[in-house]
A and B are shown apart, each in its own frame.
Chain A
Amino acid sequence: MSAAIVSPFSLLDLAIAALSLVATLWIGLRVKRYIGTIEDYLVANRGMGLYVGAASLLSTEVGIITYMYQAQFGFVAGFSAFVTGLITLAVCLFVGRTGFVITRLREMQILTVPEYFEKRYGRGVRVLAGVLMALGGSLNLGIFPIIEARFLGVVTGIPSEYLGWTMAALLLVALAYTALGGMVSLIVTNYVQYVFLAAGTLIVTLVCLREVGWGGMVSAVEGHMGGHGMNPIEDLGVGFILWQILLWIALMTVWQSVAMRTFSTKDAAVGKKMFTLTGFLFLGRALIPMAWGIAALAFFWGRSVPVLAPSAPTRSAQIEALDRALGETFRRDLDEGRLERALPQLDLLEQLAREEKAQDPKAARFEDSAREKRSEMGLLAMPWMLAATLPSGLLGLVVAGMLAASISTYAGYFLGWSSIIAQDIVAPLARKELTSAARLRLTRVTVVGLTVFIMIWSLVYDLPGPAYFYLQVTANLFMAPTLIVVVGGLYWRRASETGAVLSFLLGAVTSLTYLVPQLQLDVATAGNLSWALAVAGFVVGSLLFPQRARA
């Protein structure tokens, strides 16, 4: 009989985590006095050095949610998932060596990516891009608290009724220093947070290796993934790999929170070096938590007991009985950390349904059901393993690292998306030119508004499916057209406003096809289609309606 996992999170751990939060807030608020202009606020007067730049970039792009979905990917795809880390490294090295896009944007002394669109295409494209970015970015950020609350609930044992308040407190800490200190606060706090984050990451990795070892991880993947989990080309497909390459080029060049770090560097050369250095950190950002997910798989498989198929007259009846039994216990097992009980049941259900669907196509739905449950389990397996293995004291340090990762992400995204709303939607639509002081006030008010929206969204929104799916939809709303329109604008003389508008509309609408189940498009197909149509719209629109000379 498997036992529920109880987190050993103690007062000592709470004190360590709380102390790290207080220190972050104190440091973040102390540097407010350096803010005078909108340039200080949004890009730290373009004075960021290489090492704090790398720390700031990684702290912003690593939150608890990053650890969770990367671990989930490792849990369900095994070592094949590692290929995305190699793609990230290759993209960072490419951008760092060539300065592709980033050098030209940095030299223009702009504050946001859509600002470039106004210079190149016109105000309409800037506002359209701003609206899509703000919409996609805010919705993307809106589910972070929901997912991260689940991590904190498992690892700290905080009762579910207090999780909402815990997340609200974290958001308020990020809000306080971001709204007052802007990028200067972010750079300094990101540095401190990076130290916590890196320490937490190293501790967890060493614990994983101690608990299951590399050999245990390999055995778990080879023994329980039905021949999958090693070869990414066979498991994930060329289409997925191609789409990831495109997506990562976009993320590293025009994703607002990343672009703001580029704009904040001392010069374009520092920007390029920052990407080369960060490439290796981004490799770790992917592979290390994916390895935690694989370690969690090995950990719970190591504790499991094989199950037998229920006795029933036919294979179909066996599958139905197994699915019913799983339905009765799965939710409770997941909530109490009894994954070793649910895992073999899921494995058997998936295996029986896969074998049966050749004779009875209806069995395919049980295979899908087992996969969905496995995906859900993958999200929580890593936190449950941490709760089961980390001793008190060390747990506090890891939670402090995770909170640092989380708050730095909120702060970075608050500033990134609010700068888009203020600079690229409200300010261009205002009837008169806003002063630097007015823009600063407007951005601060937008940071507060965005925080309120996220708090409300995370309370009322019910995630319809896997987090990874939702995050891809919301990011794809604007990622493909943004990169295409930036690259086209920089390197193609015939690029026009009509082409840019068509690219944004087609790219955004195609991304939303993920949400239409009747179309049955998988993530890679819809993602690649979004890129293809955004390119087609841009080229056709530009050729048919060339850019008119601007007054």
Chain B
Amino acid sequence: MSWALFWLVVFVAAFSAFTLISLVIAVRGVAEIRELFTALDEERRRKKP
């Protein structure tokens, strides 16, 4: 395999992975942020006298 072909394969893999993972983060991140707020709210209520 030539260097040019090798770098093409690596670049396509990197670009595809970046695109795919970014989409997954964009979709699933919202639910995680909601969970974080809920947990912080509960923690705050628990600490209140």
Chain A positions near chain B (C-beta within 8 angstroms): 31, 34, 36, 40, 44-45, 47-52, 54-55, 79, 82, 85-86, 184, 187-188, 191, 194-195, 198, 201-202, 205, 214, 218, 222, 230-231, 277, 280-281, 283-284, 287-288, 291
B15 touches A55 (CB 8 A): no
Residues of B within 8 A of A86 (CB): 10
Q: What total count of A-B pairs have CB within 8 Å?
A: 107
Min CB distance B8 to A, Å, is 6
B1-45 contacts to A, CB under 8 A, are 3-4, 7-8, 10-11, 13-15, 17-19, 21-22, 24-26, 28-30, 32-33, 35-37, 39-41, 43-44
Min CB distance A49 to B, Å, is 3
List 18 interface pairs A-B (beta carbons < 8 Å), by A numbering: A34-B40, A34-B44, A36-B44, A44-B36, A49-B29, A49-B36, A51-B28, A51-B32, A79-B7, A82-B11, A188-B33, A194-B22, A195-B22, A198-B19, A202-B22, A280-B14, A287-B10, A287-B15
Residues of B within 8 A of A51 (CB): 24-25, 28-29, 32
Tell me the interface secondary structure of chain B in the complex: helix
B33 touches A187 (CB 8 A): yes
Residues of A within 8 A of B47 (CB): 36
- Given A45-B40, A231-B3; 9 other pairs, CB 8 A cutoff: A48-B32, A79-B7, A191-B29, A194-B26, A198-B22, A198-B25, A202-B18, A280-B14, A280-B21
A55 touches B39 (CB 8 A): no
B33 touches A291 (CB 8 A): no
B28 touches A284 (CB 8 A): no
Min CB distance B19 to A, Å, is 6
Residues of B within 8 A of A291 (CB): 11
Residues of B within 8 A of A79 (CB): 3-4, 7
- The residue of chain A having its C-beta at the shortest distance from the C-beta of B24 within the complex is A51
Q: Which residue of A49, A202, A281 has the most chain B CB atoms within 10 A of its CB atom?
A: A49
Partner of A184, one of B13, B25, B40: B40
| Docked pose: A202 CA to B11 CA in angstroms | 13
- The residue of chain A having its C-beta at the shortest distance from the C-beta of B39 within the complex is A47
Min CB distance A284 to B, Å, is 3
Residues of A within 8 A of B4 (CB): 79, 218, 222, 230
Residues of A within 8 A of B25 (CB): 51-52, 54-55, 191, 194, 198
| Docked pose: A48 CA to B14 CA in angstroms | 26
- The residue of chain A having its C-beta at the shortest distance from the C-beta of B5 within the complex is A218
B32 touches A288 (CB 8 A): no
Min CB distance B39 to A, Å, is 5
A284 touches B15 (CB 8 A): yes
Residues of B within 8 A of A198 (CB): 18-19, 22, 25-26
Q: Which residue of A31, A283, A284 has the most chain B CB atoms within 10 A of its CB atom?
A: A284
| Docked pose: A181 CA to B2 CA in angstroms | 51
Residues of B within 8 A of A195 (CB): 22, 26
Q: A45-B43, A82-B11, A283-B14 are in contact. Are A184 and B36 (CB under 8 A)?
A: yes
Tell me the interface secondary structure of chain A in the complex: helix
Chain B positions near chain A (C-beta within 8 angstroms): 3-4, 7-8, 10-11, 13-15, 17-19, 21-22, 24-26, 28-30, 32-33, 35-37, 39-41, 43-44, 47
| Docked pose: A202 CA to B3 CA in angstroms | 25
Residues of B within 8 A of A205 (CB): 15
| Docked pose: A40 CA to B40 CA in angstroms | 8
- The residue of chain A having its C-beta at the shortest distance from the C-beta of B13 within the complex is A283
Q: Which residue of B10, B22, B29 has the most chain A CB atoms within 10 A of its CB atom?
A: B29
Residues of A within 8 A of B39 (CB): 45, 47
Partner of B36, one of A47, A214, A281: A47
Min CB distance B3 to A, Å, is 4
Min CB distance A310 to B, Å, is 35
Min CB distance B9 to A, Å, is 11
| Docked pose: A195 CA to B29 CA in angstroms | 10
Residues of A within 8 A of B37 (CB): 31, 34
Min CB distance A211 to B, Å, is 16
B33 touches A52 (CB 8 A): yes
A280 touches B29 (CB 8 A): no
Partner of A202, one of B14, B19, B29: B19
Residues of A within 8 A of B22 (CB): 194-195, 198, 202, 281
Residues of A within 8 A of B24 (CB): 51
Q: Which residue of A50, A51, A222, A231 has the most chain B CB atoms within 10 A of its CB atom?
A: A51
Min CB distance A73 to B, Å, is 14
| Docked pose: A79 CA to B18 CA in angstroms | 19
Residues of B within 8 A of A184 (CB): 36, 40
Residues of A within 8 A of B19 (CB): 198, 202
- The residue of chain B having its C-beta at the shortest distance from the C-beta of A283 within the complex is B14
Residues of A within 8 A of B15 (CB): 205, 284, 287-288
| Docked pose: A449 CA to B19 CA in angstroms | 38
